[in-house]
Amino acid sequence: MRVIISALRFFPGRTYGAEVYFSSLLQGLNNEIQAADDIAVTGSPELCNWVGDIAPNIAQIPQNTPISTIASMLYEWLMIHHIAKKWNADIVFFPFNTMPPIRIKSVLMLHDLVSYFYADNFPNYASTHNRILRWLIKHSVSNADAIIVPSHAIAAEIARIFPHQTKKTIAIHEAATVRQIDTGTTEQLNINKQHLLLQTGAKLPHKSQHTGIEAIAFIKKHDPTLAQQIVLAITGGSATEIESLQAQVVTLGIEDNIQLLGKVSDSLLESLSNQATLHLFPTLYEGFGLGIVEAQKIGKAILASRIPVLEEVSGGIGEFFEPGNASELGIKIIELLGNSERLNYLETEGRAWAQKWNWNNHARALLNEMKRTMQE
Q: Indicate if the pLDDT at residue 304 is higher than 70.
A: yes
- In the CATH scheme, what architecture does the domain 195-354 have? 3-Layer(aba) Sandwich (3.40)
Bridge partner residues of 195 (DSSP): 230
Q: What is the pLDDT of residue 65?
A: 93
Amino acid, single-letter form, for residue 303: L
Q: Indicate if the pLDDT at residue 204 is higher than 50.
A: yes
Q: What is the domain partition of the chain in residue ranges?
A: 2-175+358-375, 195-354
Q: What is the pLDDT of residue 25?
A: 94
Would you say 279 and 273 are in contact if contact means Cβ atoms under 8 Å apart? yes
Q: What is the pLDDT of residue 282?
A: 97
Q: What is the pLDDT of residue 185?
A: 44
Q: What is the pLDDT of residue 269?
A: 87
Residue 294: pLDDT band by 50, 70, 90 thresholds? very high
Q: What is the pLDDT of residue 15?
A: 60
Q: Indicate if the pLDDT at residue 73 is higher than 70.
A: yes
Residue 356: pLDDT band by 50, 70, 90 thresholds? confident
pTM higher than 0.85 for the full model?
yes
Give percent above pLDDT 70 in the chain. 95
Question: 9-13, 176-180, 278-282: lowest mean pLDDT where?
Answer: 176-180
Residue 330: pLDDT band by 50, 70, 90 thresholds? very high
Q: Indicate if the pLDDT at residue 184 is higher than 50.
A: no
What mean pLDDT is predicted for residues 292-310? 96
Q: Indicate if the pLDDT at residue 187 is higher than 70.
A: no
Distance between CA atoms of residues 173 and 185, nearest Å: 33
Distance between CA atoms of residues 317 and 194, nearest Å: 24
Residue 186: pLDDT band by 50, 70, 90 thresholds? very low
CATH hierarchy code of domain 2-175+358-375: 3.40.50.2000
Distance between CA atoms of residues 241 and 246, nearest Å: 9
What mean pLDDT is predicted for residues 52-64? 96
State the Cα angle at 286 between 283 and 287, rounded to 5°: 170
What mean pLDDT is predicted for residues 195-214? 93
What mean pLDDT is predicted for residues 125-142? 96
Longest dimension (CA), the chain: 68
What mean pLDDT is predicted for residues 210-217? 97
Residues 6+ apart with CB under 8 A from 82: none
Q: What is the pLDDT of residue 192?
A: 76
CA 80 to chain centre: 26
- Same fold yes or no, 2-175+358-375 and 195-354: yes
Strand bridging mode 258-262 / 230-235 = parallel
CB atoms under 10 Å from CB of 253, counted, come to 11
Angle between helix 359-375 and 16-32 (nearest 10): 70
Give percent above pLDDT 90 in the chain. 80
- 3-state SS record for the chain: CEEEEECCCCCCCCCHHHHHHHHHHHHHHHHHCCCCCEEEEEECHHHHHHHHHHCCCCEEEECCCCCCHHHHHHHHHHHHHHHHHHCCCCEEEECCCCCCCCCCEEEEECCCCHHHHHHHHCCCCCHHHHHHHHHHHHHHHHHCCEEEECCHHHHHHHHHHCCCCCCCEEECCCCCCCCCCCCCCCCCCCCCCCEEEEECCCCCHHHCHHHHHHHHHHHHHHCHHHHCCEEEEEECCCHHHHHHHHHHHHHHCCHHHEEEEECCCHHHHHHHHHHCCEEEECCCCCCCCHHHHHHHHCCCEEEEECCHHHHHHHCCCCEEECCCCHHHHHHHHHHHHCCHHHHHHHHHHHHHHHCCCCHHHHHHHHHHHHHHHHHC
Would you say 130 and 52 are in contact if contact means Cβ atoms under 8 Å apart? no
Q: Indicate if the pLDDT at residue 92 is higher than 60.
A: yes
